[in-house]
Structure 1
Amino acid sequence: MVAKAPVAYEIPLEMREFADKSVEQARKAFDGFVGAAHRTVTAMEGSGETVQSGARDVSRKAIEIAETNVAASFAFAQKLVRATDMVEVMQIQAEFLQSQMQAMQAQAKELGATLTGAAAKKPSNGKA
């Protein structure tokens, strides 16, 4: 028996363009959501119901981490939909997983430091 060579699957250009536009629309929607979250945190800071400084720092760090992770995911999706074959898809996937593991380790350290700093802060309302 003669073994057949595997057929390379190429992702059609139309499909890549459609997926690319969908990812871009999702990115714009998320950017609007993040903008609203930042405005909400800023509004809370100026109100009579101001969140304690430490809690505010933790909230900001959590939003920053989420924003970074979603941006990385959008960049990954953008690369993925532009891939021309499955070999490229697998390479992009492997690179993304590796970079996300490194990012998660760094973010865990950053969040831990922020939480430690928040726990060390005293309430700003004059009570000890």
Structure 2
Amino acid sequence: MGFITGFLSGLTLTSSVLYLSVRIHASTRLQQSLALRDSSSLLRSVYDPEPSYVPPSARLRLGGIGDVAKDRWNGGVERAVRGVQGTDWRRVREGAETWVGEAWERVSNNKGGAAGGGK
């Protein structure tokens, strides 16, 4: 082996070992950095937790006539919905059945009386 061949072989071997060492070192540093970041985040959440979401408080806003009209409309709709939700629909049905039954009796009695009285 000549001087040039030995020199180039040594240079290639040394460069390869150096490159692989640097790559392994960079990879290890990246893993350590990620582990430290996770640990730091975990510790920070223990002693200084981020505040949970708090909805904004209701703001009092003085509006014009349009806002007053909207508020009244929304209040009326809200009262109507609460009325519908609070209704005992079984009682309403029974009342309607009773009313229709009585109306039918009155109509059927009047027809019979009118037909008999007209002859």
TM-score, with normalisation over the residues of structure 1?
0.27
Q: Radius of gyration: which is bigger? A: 2
TM-score, with normalisation over the residues of structure 2?
0.29
Structure with more contact order per residue of length (Cα contacts < 8 Å, sep ≥ 6): 1
